[in-house]
């Protein structure tokens, strides 16, 4: 059961990377708008969108497949934890009760905390992640 659930975490967190990578690569205006509005424009440079998006798509695919897990799970965790940390106010106050206002709140960001934790769980249970291509190909 644990191996199946870890596979499910890999599929869903990797799919999220592929989804956001696709937006960066193929709809950069949307990615730039999100970066400007919620992340202080940290990664809003138009020329960065396609290469970052394609890299994120590749990373998501590697996570789903369970290849190079020590590297890819760590990279995924960095992306998802840093991304969640950057919007901590939205996570801490999704209803706009004390840090945000009714106009600035964004309840849809709350699941970012869950996804960040899921990426850390994949790292913590790396040795028990048995349904991966790493295990099949390299016996590790």
Per-residue confidence (pLDDT) for residue 59, from 0 to 100: 99
Q: Are 60 and 21 in contact (CB under 8 A)?
A: yes
Q: Are 4 and 66 in contact (CB under 8 A)?
A: no
Structural domains in the chain (count)? 1
> What is the average pLDDT across 6-27?
97
140 belongs to a structural domain: no
CA angle 36, 87, 49 (to 5 degrees): 40
Residue 36 has pLDDT above 90, yes or no: no
The model carries a pTM of 0.89
Q: By residue range, what is the domain housing residue 25?
A: 2-133
139 belongs to a structural domain: no
How big, in percent rounded to 5, are the helix, strand and coil portions of the chain? 75, 0, 25
Q: What token pair was written down for 31?
A: 């990615």
Task: For residue 55, give every residue at least 6 positions away whose Cβ sits within 8 Å of its Cβ, in sequence order, or none.
Answer: 21
Per-residue confidence (pLDDT) for residue 103, from 0 to 100: 86
Taking only the tens place, the pLDDT of each residue in 80-130 is: 999 999 889 989 999 989 998 888 888 888 899 999 999 999 999 999 999
**Percent of the chain whose pLDDT exceeds 70:** 99
40 belongs to a structural domain: yes
138 belongs to a structural domain: no
Q: What token pair was written down for 81?
A: 């934890």
Per-residue confidence (pLDDT) for residue 75, from 0 to 100: 98
48 belongs to a structural domain: yes
Q: With 0-12 CB in 10 A as exposed, 13-18 as middle and 19+ as buried, what is 71?
A: exposed
Q: Are 24 and 57 in contact (CB under 8 A)?
A: no
**What is d(CA 31, CA 118) in angstroms, rounded to the nearest whole number?**
23
129 belongs to a structural domain: yes
pLDDT band at 69 (very low <50, low <70, confident <90, very high): very high
Q: Are 60 and 18 in contact (CB under 8 A)?
A: yes
**What is d(CA 108, CA 93) in angstroms, rounded to the nearest whole number?**
11
Residue 24 has pLDDT above 80, yes or no: yes
What mean pLDDT, rounded, does the chain reach?
Answer: 92
> What is the average pLDDT across 24-38?
87
13 belongs to a structural domain: yes
23 belongs to a structural domain: yes
């Amino acid at each position: 059961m644990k191996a199946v659930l870890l596979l499910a975490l890999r599929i869903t967190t990797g799919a999220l990377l592929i989804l956001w990578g696709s937006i960066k690569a193929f709809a950069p205006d949307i990615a730039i708008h999100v970066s400007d509005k919620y992340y202080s424009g940290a990664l809003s440079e138009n020329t960065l969108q396609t290469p970052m998006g394609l890299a994120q798509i590749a990373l998501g695919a590697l996570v789903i497949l369970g290849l190079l897990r020590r590297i890819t799970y760590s990279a995924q965790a960095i992306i998802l934890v840093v991304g969640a940390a950057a919007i901590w106010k939205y996570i801490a106050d999704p209803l706009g009760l004390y840090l945000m206002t009714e106009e600035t709140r964004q309840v849809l960001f709350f699941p970012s905390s869950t996804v960040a934790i899921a990426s850390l769980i994949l790292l913590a249970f790396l040795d028990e992640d048995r349904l991966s291509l790493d295990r099949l190909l390299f016996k590790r």
